[in-house]
Amino acid sequence: MDTTNTIDPRVFPPTARRGSSCGELKLGEIRATALTAEFGSPLYVVDEDAARARAVEVRTALQREAARIGTAATVYYATKAFLCIEVARWMAEEGLAIDVASGGELAVALAAGVDPALIGFHGNNKSEAEIARAVAAGVGTIILDSEWETERVARAAAAAGVQQRVRLRVNSGVHASTHDFLATSHEDQKFGQPLAEAPRLVSDILQHESLDFVGLHCHIGSQIFATDGFRESARRLLGVYPELARLTGRDIPELNLGGGFGIAYTSAAADEAPAIADVARELADIVAETAAEAGIAVPHLAFEPGRGIIGQAGVTLYTVGTTKTVQLAGSDAAADPADLGFSERLYVSVDGGMSDNARPALYGADYQVRIANRASDAAPALVRVVGKHCESGDIVVQRDVLPGDVRPGDTLAVAATGAYCWALASNYNYVPRPPVVAISGGSARIIVRGDTEAELLAKSVQDAPVFTPTTNGATK
């Protein structure tokens, strides 16, 4: 069956569909070409209604299952996936807390009017200024990533005359089945402290009256489909809770299992993400079982999904500039089943690339692409969508199958770009970052302005004062 025109609802936003006349893609009842005509190309499009609905679905599932096992859950939106003032507002309005990982992300959340008590502050190298600002703002929880941060947060809280809630980030040693750069809980990486060190580190935290230790935090990776890793990670963390309870003289009230819930980026069977209701039920059962084995009360749970909320809500629109066909050697095609037996590949160059989506270049992420301005009954062709940057690794879609008549001027839609695309965007080759447009109820509006060449040029300083140090270190 020819699926080259199919808009897969597992990958595209729920409102995406083909129009009845020429088969043009519509997003929230708005034609793709109408969006690019109004806002330009490339263009990030985020379906606000889909993002809000997914936030409610995830929060409800996790909180419902927590209640089933006799506890409660706080669901943080992991803003590193995609953050702007509008998105922070959406998440807060839908009942989610907010997870930030830098002073800049904290500033956005505060500017959005998020209650500081509902903000968790991550990061492996928070500056003293960032910590002081977070404490002064009343951030609900700061996640300690090192011994250095224990001292820094304690000083800042003491200076502010408050007791700051803190969690300790640990590595459970569980390596989720994902790309090495996405896995965040094996020992040889920058985040967190070894789990075996938790009792000693918690003892250090307890020496500071300005700190309130509320539990452990662990994040085992990203783009996770199976719950096996969560099961083992929870078992290991809760295994040390009895010892931590003896140190503190009370039950440890919270456990944060992180996020990393995967989404489908393509229609491939291997890319099938489990339903959040199933994931939530399994996670709740895991926690209940391991808490019973450890002989402790089930703690308040916390989770930090980002991609799992915003990823599918995003689509990036591009315009085709050039195409070229290359022959694939017979042996090469046979050696790579993903090339589906095609003897040639069509390179399709678009007006963006790794500056608006760095994920394929960073860790080989794959995406699904469709012609957006029309449907076509042309014979299918194996395509590789590439960008305009001066890098051979500037690939937007490694491989997909499109109608073979894809040509210059066509609009392409790349699905599931809501997470880690705008957030990782750059100005490589002095290419302006595209704007972000939110669609809702048949209308569209800019929620993040794109760059202009004039703004990029304005950053180049030509007449700045010259710094000339004297021999004693003073400035003339």
Q: Measured between alpha carbons, how far is 42 from 389 in angstroms, rounded to an integer?
A: 14
For 71, phi then psi, to 5°, come to -140, -165
Work out the burial of residue 253: count CB atoms within 10 Å of its CB; fewer than 13 is exposed, 13-18 middle, 19 or more buried.
middle
Q: What share of the chain is helix, strand, coil (3-state, %, to 5)?
A: 35, 25, 45
Q: Dihedral of CA 217/218/221/227: which sign?
A: negative
Q: Measured between alpha carbons, how far is 182 from 180 in angstroms, rounded to an integer?
A: 5
Beta carbons of 350 and 323 less than 8 angstroms apart: no
The arrangement of strands across the sheet holding 17-18 comes to 17-18, 25-27, 30-31
Q: Please choose, from the candidates 123, 228, 114, 244, the residue with its C-alpha nearest in 3D space to the C-alpha of residue 178.
A: 228
Beta carbons of 303 and 254 less than 8 angstroms apart: no
Beta carbons of 143 and 217 less than 8 angstroms apart: yes
The encoded tokens of residue 262 equal: 């995967």
Beta carbons of 140 and 168 less than 8 angstroms apart: no
Q: Which stretches of 143-275 are DSSP H helices?
A: 147-160, 198-206, 228-248
Q: Measured between alpha carbons, how far is 219 from 233 in angstroms, rounded to an integer?
A: 9
Catalytic residue among 22, 84, 218, 390: 390
> How many other C-beta atoms are found inside a 10 Å radius of the C-beta of residue 35?
24
Q: Please choose, from the candidates 194, 189, 185, 257, the residue with its C-alpha nearest in 3D space to the C-alpha of residue 221.
A: 185
Beta carbons of 211 and 153 less than 8 angstroms apart: yes
Q: Measured between alpha carbons, how far is 234 from 212 in angstroms, rounded to an integer?
A: 22
For the question of residue 218 being annotated catalytic, the response is: no
Would you please indicate which residues are annotated as catalytic (active-site) residues? 390
